[in-house]
Structure 1
Amino acid sequence: MDPLYQNRLHVTRREFFGKSATGIGTVALASLLNRDGFGDAAPLGGLPSLPHLAPKAKRVIYLFQNGGPTHVDLFDYKPKLKDLHGQPLPNGYAEGKRFSTMTGEADGKLMLAPVEPFKQRGESGAWVSDFLPHTAQIADKLCFVKSMQTDAVNHAPAIQFLLSGGELPGRPTLGAWLTYGLGSESDSLPSFVVMTSISKGTSCGQIFYDFYWGSGFLPSKYQGVKFRGTGDPVLYISNPDGVSRSMRRGWLDDISKVNELKLQEFGDPEIATRIAQYEMAFKMQTSVPELTDLSGETKATLEMYGPEVHEPGTFAHNCLLARRLVERGTRCVQLMHAGWDQHNSLTTELYNQCRDTDQPSAALVQDLDRLGLLDETLVIWGGEFGRTPFIQGDINNRPRWGRDHHPYAFTVWMAGGGIKPGLSYGASDDLGVNAVENKVHVHDLQATWLHQMGIDHEKFTYKFQGRQFRLTDVHGHVVNEILS
């Protein structure tokens, strides 16, 4: 490239957008400072073009179950599995299907009956296993999508695909997209918060990669803020010994002035991110301790979430914090609970997973409903894929029964946020191998989530490396049949 032309491009970006008195640096900084009372208004970000349509939901709580919950043992009742228990998978069901290397070819694999009985629940008659008695009690509040399909067959790509629309790291996740597009309802707590947990004694945990809540090519201020399960939820939330709050405020003001000069000079969005992070960290010194103080919760509420609610780092504790976060204006809360990867532990660790997540999940839905928050909060429960209806392992060794990854049919449930309650949508075949009725792809689910937040997924884009990207990539249709 001609050096003079290259320099002209460089000057255009830096001079016009950085040093102009009305450049993006000045606008971004003004928006941030207004949150602290330095200006008259108090905007909380977001795009002026949004929402595209009247939103049914203002916030999202995603109860993500890492590892792939087994749909045929929890939600998708297939009596034929019991009839064929121990017999080879019939021809035609898995033809041309790709499974993980732990299974290889599905031909000749033996069918495995559900571990626990199923019953129809509530007035809706939804099938829910005895593994999940608390979820069974709220079945009429839930919408079960039983025809889910995804593209990836291994954990990290499948999780990333569900959360960002692409199997490789580098794209913004759902919470980052929502924060970028809709802004925040709180100026003292992050708009996108993530918490992780794993059942005690679980041997099949998954790694929590930071890109599961990353901002990808969006400015990094939109990435999720991870709350820790031990010690202070956020590092350095407390002042060091000998440092008062007023001293910290003074230091922050001086640092902000220096960063403001650099922002005006270069227009680098990461400088704006740094300013915003410093301001948010200062506010969180007050907001986070108040958030995590459960002393104001009633005994009945705490008991509803189960015995582990008082223990930071557990799924139960995180569910209650999720409710408290959305009460205070957090846009997206993503809880990630690992351990559903039961390749050889259906009769042991599946019980642990259900014990630790069933009651808190149901309690969260009930608690939101009790407080009048459920209608405007979209609650999502599910993993990255399901589990195979056939066994992985020895059919005669019950303590070691397991199921492999299964992307061709699985179940998620949703509640609130304008989703029809008491509905079971879509279906898999008589063995739970393939989705056959009202198929819902991951991109369709993502399009539906955005629609409920008032966003047209085809119009909601961000230009990166010469291309307009969106959460749904170039696919996806809103599943209107599940909308109330």
Structure 2
Amino acid sequence: MNSRRHFLQTSGVGFGWLAFQALAQAESGSPLAVKQPHFSAKAKRVIFLCMRGAPSHVDTFDHKPKLTAASGKDGRAPGTKLHGSQWKFAPQGKSGLPISELFPHLSKRADDLCLINSMHTELPAHAQSFLKLHTGNAQFVRPSLGAWALYGLGTVNENLPGFVTIAPPTLFGGAQNYGSAFLPAIYQGTRVGVDARPVVNAQMRNIVPPVGSVAQRKEIELVQALNREKLQRDQVNPEVEGAIESFELAFKMQSEMPRVMDLTKETQQTLDAYGIGEGNATDDFGRKCLLARRMVEAGVRFVEVTHSDWDHHFKISKDLPSTCESVDQPLAALLADLDSRGLLKDTLVVWSGEFGRTPHAQGADGRDHNSKGFTAWMAGGGVKGGMRYGSTDDLGYEAVEDKMHTHDFHATILHLLGLDHERLTYRYAGRDFRLTDVKGSVAKKIIA
């Protein structure tokens, strides 16, 4: 019994019903069983809010008064003109974080936010940088951040997938962004919806069994027996191993996943807080954020939520405000909801796009790609709130202080989960691979 208590204490899952379910998984040898982290974790779970298309940092979270003053002057690229932000920044919260007026709701949670103003990556191309953000590599097929987290920690609810991605894009690498690559297939993300369709219509296919549970269990046992027989013949067959594990998970999900995805159980007050309602600009993203909260509360280890309207080459004066409006209220509601339920302190919420945008104008009313400097933010999960980490130059072109590369970003997320990015490895093709390749440093200044 003492060993069980030690497991529950060191694994960071607590002592509730989910904890003892996690203990049962561990004792059964399940590949999704909770594993002890390398050291004491600040965060138990992650919600990754991915803004596909590259948000303009100088119009949202990276205040550049000198850029505004220099608006109209020549930019660094030949033939370009500097373009100051059209929107005002003001200090928010007790911390005085400067946040754009485009985020009036999120500004009220300023003291939860750690603005990382020094993000940078290699290529100003969507597909490559999007893959880099998710897998640490733009050239080769590699496991995703969510898959690595699940591989390193397991999950606490055997009836749900440990990694869920809500409305991921079909472009920019598609399934590679939530895939497991050479990790066992059970660690890949489970997709809910796609980015081109409203999430209200998203369903888990084949979640309702066509026959009774007893008959279905017999069918599965027959199929699993055949799979195990093939695996015994082949000795090594990752696809068959993945099928065996996924069939078992799918059978268990039938009882719990529909309940988790059923937003009708929420109060009207909660739905209103997230901006959910027919005709609301915030309805779709509000539903995604509320689903994310319900999933982490039910024991899902890693949830990604994608929003896809940030590629503002043109008409930024019209399109950026509407894009920000669609996410602002849901983002604030998610942080407040997690906080009220006691979940924010050990849930790491991450917000980022694949890169930023130029301080100079593109055409009359837009901004081009910029990978040398952009902003992400984190909240909860052991991160210091109400602070700015790092900075870009006075005009916002490139990161110059406490620079955070994508590899550093990943190393820091894993560290907050209690995982040493240099020790979290998997042997494949004769070498040990890791998410951060041979790079990455933890940004210890942002850790509470």
Please say whether Structure 1 and Structure 2 have the same fold, judged by a TM-score greater than 0.5: yes
The answer on whether the counterparts of 2:22 and 2:156 sit within 8 Å (CA) in structure 1 is: no
Distance in structure 1 (CA, Å) of the matches to 2:226 and 2:276: 49
Deviation at 1:232, TM superposition (A): 5.4
User: How far off is 1:449 after superposition?
Assistant: 0.6
> Of 153, 170, 179, which aligns to 2:124?
153
Inter-CA distance 437–298: structure 2 relative to 1 (3 Å threshold)? same
Summarize the Cα distance change of 1:310–1:451 in structure 2 as closer, same or farther, 3 Å threshold.
farther
Residue 20 of structure 1 corresponds to none
Query: Moved runs in structure 1, 4+ residues, more than 4 A?
Result: 35-40, 46-50, 205-208, 308-313
> Aligned to 1:415, which of 344, 361, 379?
379
CA offset digits 1:213-257 (Å, max 9, x no partner): 1111112221111012364521111234xx323322221121112
The reply on whether 1:54 has 2:25 as its aligned counterpart is no
What one-letter code is carried by the residue in structure 2 that aligns with 1:210?
A
Alignment of 1:40-119 (within 5 A): 41-45=27-31, 50-89=36-75, 94=76, 106-119=77-90
CA distance in 2 between counterparts of 1:147 and 1:126 reads 15
User: Does the alignment pair 1:247 with 2:215?
Assistant: yes
Comparing 257-266 and 286-295, the one that deviates more: 257-266
Q: Structure 2: 5+ residue runs without aligned partners?
A: 1-20, 194-198
Residue 107 of structure 1 deviates from its aligned partner by 2.2
Could you give the per-residue CA deviations for residues 164-187 of structure 1, whole angstroms, max 9, x where no partner exists? 110135100011001111111111
TM-aligned CA distance change 1:139 to 1:48, over 3 Å: closer
Structure 1 position 207, deviation (Å)? 5.2
Q: Distance in 1 between matches of 2:406 and 2:303?
A: 19
**Which runs of 5 or more structure 1 residues have no equivalent in the other structure?**
1-34, 95-105, 199-204, 395-400
Tell me how far 1:313 sits from its aligned partner.
Answer: 8.7
Alignment size in residue pairs: 421
2:321 maps to which of 344, 348, 351: 351
Alignment partner of 2:396 out of 432, 435, 446:
432
Residues 230 and 40 (structure 1 numbering): CA distance in 2 closer, same or farther, change over 3 Å? closer
Paired with 2:177 and 2:339, the residues of 1 have a C-alpha distance of: 28
Residue 147 of structure 1, CA deviation: 0.8
Amino acid in structure 2 at the alignment position of 1:261: E
- Candidates 384, 405, 408, aligned match of 1:441: 405
Paired residue type of 1:180: Y
Cα displacement (A) at 1:343? 0.3
State how 1:243-282 maps to structure 2 within 5 Å: 243-267=211-235, 268-282=237-251
Candidates 252, 255, 265, aligned match of 1:283: 252
Instruction: Output the amino acid matched with 2:85.
Output: P
Deviation of 1:263 (Å):
2.5
- Contact 1:50–1:455, Cα closer than 8 Å, also in 2: no
SS state at 2:230 partner? helix
User: How many angstroms does 1:57 deviate by?
Assistant: 0.8
Aligned residue among 96, 104, 120 for 1:125: 96
Structure 2: which amino acid aligns with 1:45?
A: P
**Deviation, structure 1 residue 41:** 3.7
RMSD: 2.5
**Amino acid in the other structure paired with 2:64:** K
- The amino acid that maps onto 1:464 is Y
Q: What is aligned with 1:178?
A: 149
1:269–1:341 Cα change, 3 Å: same
Q: Name the structure 2 match of 1:316.
A: 286
Q: What TM-score does the superposition give when structure 2 sets the normalisation length?
A: 0.89
Q: CA-to-partner distance for each residue in 1:393-438, whole Å, 9 max, x for gaps? A: 03xxxxxx11011111111110011100111111111101121111
Q: Give 3-state SS (helix, strand or coil) of 2:252's partner.
A: helix
Identity of aligned residues (%): 43
Distance in 2 (CA, whole Å) between partners of 1:57 and 1:238 is 33
Instruction: Give the match for residue 376 of structure 1.
Output: 346
Question: Secondary structure of the equivalent of 2:328?
Answer: helix
Q: Which amino acid aligns with 1:217?
A: F
Q: Secondary structure at the match of 2:360?
A: coil
Alpha-carbon distance in structure 2 between the residues aligned to 1:362 and 1:180: 30
- Distance in 2 between residues matched to 1:69 and 1:206, nearest whole Å: 18
Residue 215 of structure 1 pairs with residue 180 of structure 2: yes
Deviation at 1:190, TM superposition (A): 0.5
Name the counterpart of 1:9: none
Q: Distance in 1 between matches of 2:322 and 2:151?
A: 37
1:168 maps to 139
CA contact (8 A) 2:276 2:284 kept: no
